[in-house]
Amino acid sequence: MQSPNKMPLRESPPPAASLAEVVEAFHAVRASIAELMDAVGIDPNKTRESARLLGLNRGLAWRLSRVVRDGDVPSVVGDVPGRQSIGKFISACRDRGATEPSLNAAEKAIDAFESAVQEAWGDRKTLATLLASRSETDPAVEQERSRRKLYEGAFAYWGVQAQVRFVTVFVLPSKEDPAMLDAAHVTGYLGFRRLTERAWPLVYEVVEKSTGDQQRFRKSPLDPRGDREADRQLMKQFCRPDHPEINVRECGGEKRFELAAGPVGNAGLTTCVFGSYLHQIAERRPESPETSGFMVRLQTPVERLIFDMFIHKDLRVRETPPTQLLDRMTYQYTHIEADFDQQSLPLSERAVPIPGGARHAVTAHIPWYPRMLDWVSDRIEIGLDNFDASRFEMTYPPISTTVSRRFPLPTG
């Protein structure tokens, strides 16, 4: 029985959600919508077709598509449909055969997002204004315009272009020697086409020390089907056509994977994805300060570059691996790390962490990207939740450059 001389104890109110928690909840919603769209064969870049296939009005289809296409939280947070509208989308996906676990995940994600918004600020419009005022993003409009002119000129002159060039790297403790590092490396092009029938180099393969000296390495295919090295390097379920003709050339210790001569224009439209598992490429704790990193050589005009790094949490890399754009017109292909600062070109874009980790790494420019990440995760037998994720994204990256992303290794 309560004493009349004592006031009843009151429970403390739950802590309000932080802006970081709102951002993470947004990316969870975005990932869930993207996964459902991919599961039922919906392209977020085709709003009218999406509305027709799902039986939704165009306004709702546009908002759903925009959430997936645009990862800029301040500009798009207000377009996240409410629970009722998301419910219509989920019902439409259920009718098209989506699985119950994925549908339930979407419902939980929108509930968590709504709760976080209410706790953090109360309404989305005000929240969007607050997020925008705190954003440090520099759109660098003039730089992008200049790069687009370079892209258009290069496409016209060299006669090749692609919609997307992507690189995805998983860095993890070696399964054979925990004192070393392994990496799963996936890279490729979406929407590659050409104006002439000639062959074109797509990917270069080499492992180097920080001094620029080449380092011997061992690799295994992520998709081992095929007789030739080129066939085993391809991740065929993500290629279109599923068996593009690739030839391997060796020159100066590096390998070059070339798309064979083929038809021009849309008749030769190709999506080509390569995947390898690299064994023991670096010491986990070197005796002296050292870095580990990955590069992408840009010699094909592309509309967009996406460079993701997933680093195993056991490595305890606290900072997002930074990005450098290296001049390879003046300095050719010398990869001496001590010279990188001198070779760096202006770069307004920055790599940013993906809230919630690899599980939330979605992009409308690669509709099947989450499915690919799950596939790689199964191959390396480590769940996506074990990785910290970050992304560097750039439109119209200039050719004759190399994009480098590196992180320091703790010394032993």
Contact 78, 63 (CB under 8 A): no
- What pLDDT shows up at residue 288? 87
| Strand-strand pairing, 160-173 and 302-312 | parallel
Q: What angle do CA 154, 155, 161 make, to 5 degrees?
A: 125
As a whole number of angstroms, the distance between CA 184 and CA 294 comes to 11
User: What does the DSSP 8-state code read for residue 381?
Assistant: T
DSSP 273-309: EEEEEEEEEEESS-SS-EEEEEEEEE-S-EEEEEEEE
As a whole number of angstroms, the distance between CA 369 and CA 377 comes to 12
Record the tokens describing residue 303, joined without a space: 């509309």
pLDDT in tens, the chain (412 residues): 343 444 344 444 444 557 778 888 888 989 999 999 999 999 988 889 999 999 999 889 998 998 898 766 666 777 888 889 999 999 999 999 999 999 999 999 999 888 888 876 666 666 666 666 555 444 466 678 889 999 999 999 999 999 999 999 999 999 899 999 999 999 999 999 999 999 999 999 998 888 888 888 899 999 998 889 999 999 999 999 989 999 999 987 789 999 999 999 999 999 999 999 999 999 999 988 889 999 999 999 999 999 999 999 999 998 999 999 999 999 877 788 989 999 999 888 999 999 888 889 999 999 999 999 999 999 999 999 999 999 999 999 999 999 999 999 988 7
Half-sphere exposure (Cβ direction) of 145: Cα atoms closer than 13 Å: 3
Q: What is the largest CA-CA distance in the chain?
A: 92
As a whole number of angstroms, the distance between CA 67 and CA 325 comes to 29
Backbone φ and ψ for 256, nearest 5 degrees, come out as -125, 125
Please say whether the dihedral angle defined by the alpha carbons of residues 71, 74, 76 and 81, taken in this order, is positive or negative.
Answer: positive
Helix (H) or strand (E) holding 133: helix 124-134
Question: 41-46: which pairs have CB atoms within 8 A and are 24 or more residues apart?
Answer: 41/96, 43/367, 44/68, 44/69, 44/364, 44/367, 45/69, 45/364
- What pLDDT shows up at residue 119? 77
Contact 325, 26 (CB under 8 A): no
Contact 230, 246 (CB under 8 A): yes
As a whole number of angstroms, the distance between CA 46 and CA 61 comes to 9
- What pLDDT shows up at residue 357? 87
Kindly provide the b/e burial profile for residues 32-68, where b requires at least 16 CB atoms within 10 angstroms of the residue's own CB: bbbbbbbbbebebeebeebbebbebeeebbbbbbbbb
Record the tokens describing residue 60, joined without a space: 């709702």
Q: For residue 283, how many other CB atoms are within 10 A of its CB?
A: 17
Q: Is the pTM of the predicted complex or chain greater than 0.85?
A: no
For residue 376, give the nearest of 176, 169, 99 by alpha carbon: 169
